[in-house]
Chain A
Amino acid sequence: MPAEDRSRAGIFLSFQYPVEIPGVSMVNFMRSAVNEHRKYKDLPALSASEFLKLMREKRAVVELDNKLANRSVNEGFSGGEKKRNEIFQMAMLEPRLSILDETDSGLDIDALRIVANGVNLLKTPENSTILITHYQRLLDYIVPDVVHVLYKGQIVKTAGKELALELEEKGYDWIKKELGE
């Protein structure tokens, strides 16, 4: 399945290193994306005013300022802004499944809080989010329903949020031991 179809079907993949696209404004980029998603669902394209209203609403989720619309996609964005921009795109596209790959890498405390807050706000009973991280820190803000440990490409342990705390304390070695390695 091509990447664009996966996206339209409701999967959102955040990038660890979002790509800079000089010359393409955020507003054009998002309008194309939103309208392609709508086309896929047989919905009519949004009018310019509807679209701008939607952008305004969703921008608030990650506290991005209104200059964003005219800036080129990720160009000259700080690390924190890029990650916030990823969550902003997620908010715009309303995916059913989001995969956030190390969204916490390279974030300062404030940006981490904003990003986490955004993820929390977007949580509904109809969607799911897979958060990939190496640290407990992000989980102070985003409380997971389930924690999986992935080892050599397989889920080797599954438990509630307390597992993350246990890992923070004891490391991963005890799991390897449990597996008999």
Chain B
Amino acid sequence: MSAEQQYIDLYSQHKTMINSHSTEVLNAKRSKAFEDFLRLGFPTQKLEKYKYTDIGKLFEPDYGLNLNRLDIPVNPYEVFKCDVPNMSTSLYFVVNDSFYTGMLPKAHLPKGVIMGSLKDVAQSNPVLIEKYYGKLADTSKDGVVAFNTTFVQDGVILYIPKGIIIEKPIQLINILRGDVDFMMNRRVLVILEEAAQAKLLVCDHAMDEKNFLSTQVIEVFAGKDSVFDLYELEETHTKTKRISHCFVEQSENSNVLLNGITLHNGTTCNSVDVTLVGEHANINLCGMAIADKNQHVDNATFIDHAVPNCTSHELFKYVLDDFSIGAFSGKVLVRPDAQKTSSMQTNRNLCVTRDARMYTKPQLEIYADDVKCSHGATVGQLDEDALFYMRARGISEKEARLLLMFAFTNEVVDQIRLEPLKERLHLLIEKRFRGELSKCEGCAMCK
């Protein structure tokens, strides 16, 4: 328990401070979460889900934590000029783990919609938050979720009341900012009531050349007939460690699209748990990673078909260059009563060099007999015949490789239901493959 000890001491010594800078609803979960963390520790590689990422090691270094909630002097609107062109979004910022209230977008969201600091809303409307907070993210099962729940002080809430449709995408930019090596524990709570609709685009950026470690827990409640898109785009630097857990619960007839794109990172470990609790719910779970150097991308997904007549569609693609490592494990559980389930899982990977490594693991557990489930996983290289064909037309080998890699990733980008974002991603991906995107596109800081 070496990595854990410093955090156990930290919590024991600063419990009061952590609580005093947060709020009752969040504090209520802390003691139990801490007990769970004491018992579980950080997940080891003996756990199937974490087999390819040594979580404890990521927590070993000494990081600063802003438990005192000191203001971090930054005006994100000034330093951050990223915007997807031709896409008008309602833009919000989170600096480390604090919702930035310095300046809120001029365009207001429809009446009744809440988009703001989790801490503030939990203070003003504790009944709402209490009903949902921590209900999906079970601290007794995962050490990192327990850790996050122990230390989290703020985050973001998006609440959309019954029947409200938000046409304009909401963009949330997470900025990692620090003068020293820094850790942040962030929480995102998304609640869509019956027939509500929204699109949320979350971008992760690292602004300073420091070691960053962020843990993130997202809980999404998709009510009956709701439609929700969540796009997560990571564009950080090689010194960033990201551990994210996303929990989704889908009610009857809900339609959710999750698309997580790792464009540039350090070490990333994403986990997504989707539970389909209402019939005729549909989940489209996609992801893509482009990695080179020593980058590490690990995606673990779990789709629980708890009731009949639901559909799930899963597509993950990786392009691994240099010494990068990719891992994917996709578990699909079809429970005994979940008849007429339709589930499709695909994971395709390109290892561009001999040293790049990909670990892929489809896991299907099917206990119902009238279902349609398929899965496929491949690891391969670029098609030599196609390369030769292109070279025979005068295209250089480098360019030909690029065109093929670009084509490979397109399938995931095409799942996006936001046209301007798609175009923007095409551009970013091309830049990424050309090596022009070494940090992040759009931060004024990096230019």
CB distance B397 to A23 under 8 Å?
Answer: no
Query: Contact partner of A24 among B388, B394, B397, B403, CB < 8 A?
Result: B403
CB distance A36 to B404 under 8 Å?
Answer: no
**Cβ of B406: which chain A residues have Cβ within 8 Å of it?**
23-24
CB distance A3 to B407 under 8 Å?
Answer: no
**Cβ of B408: which chain A residues have Cβ within 8 Å of it?**
23
Q: Which residue of B lies closest to A33 (CB)?
A: B393
CB distance B389 to A93 under 8 Å?
Answer: no
**Cβ of A29: which chain B residues have Cβ within 8 Å of it?**
390, 393, 395, 403
Known contacts A19-B385, A19-B389: A24-B407 contact under CB 8 Å: yes
**Cβ of A79: which chain B residues have Cβ within 8 Å of it?**
none
Asked if A8 is at the interface of the complex by the 8 Å CB criterion, the answer is yes
Asked if B355 is at the interface of the complex by the 8 Å CB criterion, the answer is no
Known contacts A15-B389, A19-B389: A28-B394 contact under CB 8 Å: no
**Cβ of B385: which chain A residues have Cβ within 8 Å of it?**
19
CB distance B403 to A28 under 8 Å?
Answer: yes
Asked if B411 is at the interface of the complex by the 8 Å CB criterion, the answer is yes
Asked if B410 is at the interface of the complex by the 8 Å CB criterion, the answer is yes
Sort chain B's interface into a size bin: 20 to 34
Query: Contact partner of A4 among B383, B397, B403, CB < 8 A?
Result: B397
- B385-402 contact mask (Cβ, 8 Å, vs A): 1 or 0: 110111111111101100
Give complex CA distance A23, B396 in Å: 18
Known contacts A19-B385, A21-B386: A93-B404 contact under CB 8 Å: no
Give complex CA distance A15, B386 in Å: 12
Query: Contact partner of B393 among A2, A7, A23, CB < 8 A?
Result: A7
Q: Which residues of chain A have a CB within 8 Å of any CB of chain B?
A: 2-4, 6-8, 13, 15, 18-24, 28-29, 32-33, 36-37, 40, 72-73, 89, 93
- Given A33-B395, A72-B407, 17 more pairs with CB closer than 8 A: A4-B391, A4-B395, A6-B392, A15-B389, A15-B392, A21-B389, A21-B404, A23-B404, A23-B408, A23-B411, A29-B395, A32-B399, A33-B390, A36-B395, A89-B393, A93-B393, A93-B394
Q: Which 3 pairs between the two chains have the least Cβ-Cβ distance?
A: A23-B407, A7-B394, A19-B389
25 contacts between A and B (CB under 8 A): A2-B397, A4-B391, A4-B396, A4-B397, A6-B392, A7-B391, A13-B392, A19-B383, A19-B386, A19-B388, A20-B386, A21-B390, A21-B404, A22-B407, A23-B406, A24-B407, A29-B393, A29-B403, A32-B390, A32-B403, A33-B394, A36-B396, A72-B407, A89-B393, A93-B394
